[in-house]
């Protein structure tokens, strides 16, 4: 990218250098000047590479997208302003009135809300089905079904989707399979290798990894579909901040190390909680309902998320959180510090209690995003908090 063009109000160009920065420069410019109308035409019509207006793309988003593209084995990925904006780019950018969409019945709460409220509002019908059973997905397909959206591992119930079976169903029906790979990340799973057509990430979470970025990423295997996603994202203004992209690219440099360390501690925490009598869901444990599938699908990478349930309702939940000194009670995941969330008051608060119960969530349900603390110190905090919750 040229950096020597000047204007009357900004007459000084960036200093030239024979050396290059080892860190990607931050480029917050909203606009990029071209030398002529012909050059601008060349950019817009694909004969030349370049940036024009930041809503349509900027260097930091492009650099981050290429990094995640390579991790997922895809090309042309689009960085958006949040994980939910990536979901919106798919559901609103690809669907029209009269279409039908199938979603996993254990999606993230805001994804469920979009399925239940926003799509019907524009004439798109929806059906929720269990992603752990490909037969249930097959039974939900209609002639007008446009796409299927599932999470590889559900948030926050940690159920493991039958991705291979669902991919086969989608292909037979000529339906797009969309996989949200946020929990699992390409460190554990590359959905495109199993037949997914579109992959989504909340980059905010494990990929960026420091709770200081809000971003999403989405890519489609079919270039034509990818173009539709990009056009909608630009038109709707789902623009990613250059600064957030710059931070996220920095976060990716340590992602494999962070993932492996947090995953090791998560396995220890899951076993510790189970030993104390809590009901635990962790794909790496033999008592997980889809443990065999997780072992085959994730290649031994069971990730850093642990869900557990305690008795005693809201009173016990309050006591647990208050006693978990040093653990942030916050509705997020993927930070370097362990965070504790309560689905009934955060991700799934919009669902009635009876609907949460169908998902296996109660007032005593917690989701833990394990970070990089010393394992023994972390287990000690959870031990004290459990004791407080039980009186």
Which stretches of 162-254 are DSSP H helices? 163-173, 185-188, 223-236, 242-252
Tell the residue number behind the tokens 């119960």, with chain if given.
Answer: 357
Which helix (H) or strand (E) segment is 65 a member of?
A: helix 59-72
Q: Report the 10 Å Cβ neighbour count for 37.
A: 8
Which helix (H) or strand (E) segment is 264 a member of?
A: helix 255-275
How far apart CA 365 and CA 11 sit, in angstroms, is 60
What b/e sequence results for 177-194 when a residue is b if at least 16 CB atoms lie within 10 Å of its CB, and e otherwise?
bbbbbbbbbbbbbbbbeb
Catalytically annotated residues: 55, 108, 180, 205
Structure tokens at 337: 């510090």
Q: Taking the mean position of all CA atoms in its chain, how far away is CA 70?
A: 17
Which helix (H) or strand (E) segment is 40 a member of?
A: helix 37-44
Half-sphere exposure of 153 (CA within 13 A, CB side): 30
Structure tokens at 277: 């009598």
Rg (CA), the chain: 22
Residue 53 DSSP symbol: B
Q: Which of these, 209, 212, 262, 260, lies nearest to 378 by C-alpha position?
A: 262
Q: Taking the mean position of all CA atoms in its chain, how far away is CA 39?
A: 37
- Cβ–Cβ < 8 Å for 312, 389: yes
- Cβ–Cβ < 8 Å for 319, 381: no
Sheet (strand 365-369) strand order: 279-281, 305-309, 365-369, 339-341, 328-329
How far apart CA 221 and CA 167 sit, in angstroms, is 14
Q: Is 322 helix (H, G, I), strand (E, B) or coil?
A: helix
How far apart CA 324 and CA 377 sit, in angstroms, is 12
């Amino acid at each position: 990218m040229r950096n020597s063009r000047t204007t009357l109000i900004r007459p000084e160009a960036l200093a030239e250098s024979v050396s290059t920065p080892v860190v990607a420069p931050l480029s917050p410019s909203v606009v990029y000047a071209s030398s002529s109308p012909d050059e601008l035409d060349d950019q817009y019509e694909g004969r030349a590479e370049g940036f024009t207006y930041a809503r349509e793309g900027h260097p930091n988003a492009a650099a981050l997208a290429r990094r995640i593209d390579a991790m997922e084995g895809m090309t042309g990925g689009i960085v958006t302003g949040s994980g939910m904006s990536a979901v919106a780019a798919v559901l609103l950018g690809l669907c029209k009135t009269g279409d039908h969409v199938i979603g996993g019945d254990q999606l993230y709460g805001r994804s469920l809300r979009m399925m239940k409220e926003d799509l019907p509002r524009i004439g798109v019908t929806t059906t929720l089905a269990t992603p752990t059973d490909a037969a249930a997905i097959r039974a939900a397909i209609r002639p007008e079904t446009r796409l299927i959206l599932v999470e590889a591992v559900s948030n926050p119930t940690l159920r493991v989707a039958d991705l291979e079976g669902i991919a086969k169903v989608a292909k037979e029906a000529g339906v797009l399979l969309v996989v949200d790979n946020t929990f699992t990340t390409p460190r554990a799973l590359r959905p495109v290798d199993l037949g997914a057509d579109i992959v989504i990430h909340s980059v905010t979470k494990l990929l960026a990894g420091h709770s200081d970025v809000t971003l999403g990423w989405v890519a489609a295997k079919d270039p034509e579909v990818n173009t539709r996603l990009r056009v909608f994202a630009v038109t709707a203004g789902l623009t990613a901040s250059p600064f957030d992209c710059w931070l996220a690219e920095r976060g990716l440099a340590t992602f494999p190390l962070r993932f492996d360390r947090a995953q090791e501690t998560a396995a220890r925490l899951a076993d510790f909680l189970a030993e104390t009598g809590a009901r635990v869901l962790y794909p790496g444990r033999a008592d997980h309902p889809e443990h065999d599938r997780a072992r085959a699908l994730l290649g031994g990478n069971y990730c850093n998320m642990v869900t557990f349930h305690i008795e005693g309702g809201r009173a016990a939940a309050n006591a647990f959180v208050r006693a978990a000194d040093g653990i942030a009670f916050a509705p997020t995941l993927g930070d370097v510090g362990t965070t504790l969330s309560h689905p009934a008051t955060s991700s799934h608060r919009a669902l009635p209690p009876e609907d949460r119960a169908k998902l296996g969530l109660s007032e005593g349900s917690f989701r833990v995003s394990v970070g990089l603390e010393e394992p023994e110190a972390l287990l000690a905090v959870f031990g004290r908090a459990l004791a407080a919750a039980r009186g």
